[in-house]
A and B are shown apart, each in its own frame.
Chain A
Amino acid sequence: MMAALEIRGLEKSYPSTFGTRRIPVLRGIDLTVAPGEIYGFLGPNGAGKTTTIKCILGLLRPDRGSIRLLGRDADSLESRRNLGFLPENPYFYEYLTIRELLHFTGRLFCMSGADRKRRVEEVLRQAGLWGREETKLGKCSKGMIQRAGLAQALVQDPEVLILDEPFSGLDPVGRKELRDLVLSLKSSGRTIFFSSHILQDMELMVDRVAIIINGRLVREGRLDELVSRSVRHYELVVDGVDEKDAARTGLAGERRDNHTIIRVESLEEVNQKIRAVHVLSGRIAAMIPVKLTLEDIFMREIGK
């Protein structure tokens, strides 16, 4: 199957202030986004997320490497016909109303009048802007601009959507709505590639994720694999066991109030500890499987 987006060996550097040398920003990015996927592009600020996206859009010329969108070279015009893009902190013509912006965008895709009218209405509803489309963009709140940006990215009904930091500037309700919208786009077969430095946004919706740090991909894979491979220990919360007894029987752990919290590495060991607790007539208050979060992975990679 043809990949929605395929990046191979992407390298990009910027000239330094005096142009005497070049500062590498991307040091070899490889990633593949399958059609119909929600792909998260995660990294701290300045890691190279926006640079990668600009290379995909043809705003920047890569030093090395190839980028293919739906099987086409990314710098061809054709590839951009099926691409919707929401820039980071989108900034649109202040003097246009939301509706005018959408019509203008539609014109850039050479959409016919009737077609445009229909689609503009659809995306206004999708982005939750219905009834507010006559607002001038200069007077919009940040959240509304974000929505307008999303709406204009959707006008020509693209197969691939690239969203740069789509959650920034949205309140919790807006985040929820955006998540729902992205999921519904996915269910209608669209591919969504989005970047973020906020992990919670990703955990709830992405299929696959790539973590970029310092211009390099440090991890790439299915989210559940990436996370489950990382689930390693359990926490056993034990009540009613005397401290000395506990230490003698190998139930040593962290004391908190009346509880002892014991860190256990495997399920087999869990069973052993439970038996030991029963022997000492103690009680299991809770058993918590501790998974590594994306954040842990992220922090661990940054710390390297």
Chain B
Amino acid sequence: MKIPAIALNTFREAVRNKVFYLLLFFGVFFAFSSRFVSMLSVGDQQKVLMDVGLGSIHFFSVLVAIFTGINLVYKEIEKKTIYNILSKPITRLEFVLGKFAGLALTLLVALASMALLFFLFLFVTTGSFAPRCLIFFGLLYIELLIITSLSLVFSSFSTPILSSIFTVTLYLVGQVLWTFQEFKTRLHEPFSRYVATALYYLLPNLDKFNVKNEVVMDMPLPGGRLLAAAAYGIVYVAALLTLAVVIFRRRELK
């Protein structure tokens, strides 16, 4: 009852803050850029269209995840609305979970609408339907949840600008974290190897969720791999949320 109340309120805030205008922007961007790109490219139009579409969905949804995450959490503290909530019989755990659920709902709606637009557009221009893209959207959603949880963790102790920087940085690092495996083998000093190994296992490995290429190029995607990626993402989100709660409980609201 309380967690859904906070979640729905967060969603309502996102809606009324016009977060979804970004979707409109996405639609226009997608329509224009795909027309443009398919004009320029010869041959496999569907591939180009899918590349552009999935790429921009990835980009826009990450944008939504980072900025709504930070904005909606930090604003509660900055504008002191949180005093009002926490002076009610609400635990910090309920607050964090409620916020997270609200953000997750916002992202779900955002992603679902973009995906719908994508499929519609693809169908209209090429007359085909690419159900394999759903795999990408599913994994992307887990990636978005990780980003949101990261922004929750950061805004539980930092300022919004720093939180944005931290979150964006970790997002970018997360995209290329897989190179650490290779990088590690080049380090000769044991200490730096340990550090690299520790970072590899601690930082979010977002590349696991990026199956754009495989989806577009019709490459095999074994179910075991997808399942392992999903399980990893969900456990990672749970860990981040726990951390956010731990930090947030310690936090004093002056």
A touches B (Cβ under 8 A): yes
Instruction: Give me the interface of A with B, judged by CB distance under 8 Å.
Output: 14, 54, 57-61, 77-78, 80-81, 83, 85, 87, 89-93, 95-96, 100, 104-105, 107-110, 152
Q: Which residue of B lies closest to A54 (CB)?
A: B253
| Contact (Cβ within 8 A) A87 B253 | no
Q: Which residue of B lies closest to A111 (CB)?
A: B1
User: With A and B bound together, what is the CA distance between A54 and B251 in angstroms?
Assistant: 13
Residues of B within 8 A of A78 (CB): 89
The 10 closest A-B pairs by CB, nearest first: A107-B5, A95-B16, A85-B87, A57-B87, A59-B253, A108-B88, A77-B89, A80-B89, A110-B1, A81-B89
The count of A-to-B residue pairs whose CB atoms sit within 8 angstroms is 71
| Contact (Cβ within 8 A) A110 B254 | no
Q: Which residue of B lies closest to A81 (CB)?
A: B89
| Contact (Cβ within 8 A) B83 A93 | no
**Does chain A have a CB within 8 A of B86?**
yes
**Does chain A have a CB within 8 A of B169?**
no
| Contact (Cβ within 8 A) A108 B5 | yes
Smallest beta-carbon distance B249→chain A, Å: 10
- Given A107-B2, A108-B5, decide whether A59 and B89 contact each other with a Cβ distance below 8 A: no
Residues of A within 8 A of B85 (CB): 108
| Contact (Cβ within 8 A) B89 A87 | no
Residues of A within 8 A of B79 (CB): 91
How many positions in chain B have a CB within 8 Å of any CB in the partner chain?
25
**Does chain A have a CB within 8 A of B181?**
no
User: With A and B bound together, what is the CA distance between A18 and B203 in angstroms?
Assistant: 30
Name B5-26 residues within 8 Å CB distance of A.
Answer: 5-6, 9, 12-13, 16-17
Residues of B within 8 A of A77 (CB): 89-91
Residues of A within 8 A of B89 (CB): 77-78, 80-81, 108-109
User: With A and B bound together, what is the CA distance between A85 and B5 in angstroms?
Assistant: 19
Contact of B83 (CB < 8 Å), options: A14, A59, A61: A59
Contact of B252 (CB < 8 Å), options: A59, A80, A90: A59
Contact of A95 (CB < 8 Å), options: B13, B88, B91: B13
Q: Which residue of A lies closest to B15 (CB)?
A: A95
| Contact (Cβ within 8 A) B88 A109 | yes
**Does chain A have a CB within 8 A of B35?**
no
22 contacts between A and B (CB under 8 A): A57-B87, A58-B86, A59-B83, A59-B252, A59-B253, A77-B90, A78-B89, A80-B88, A81-B89, A85-B83, A87-B84, A91-B79, A92-B81, A93-B9, A96-B12, A107-B2, A108-B5, A108-B88, A108-B89, A109-B88, A110-B1, A110-B2
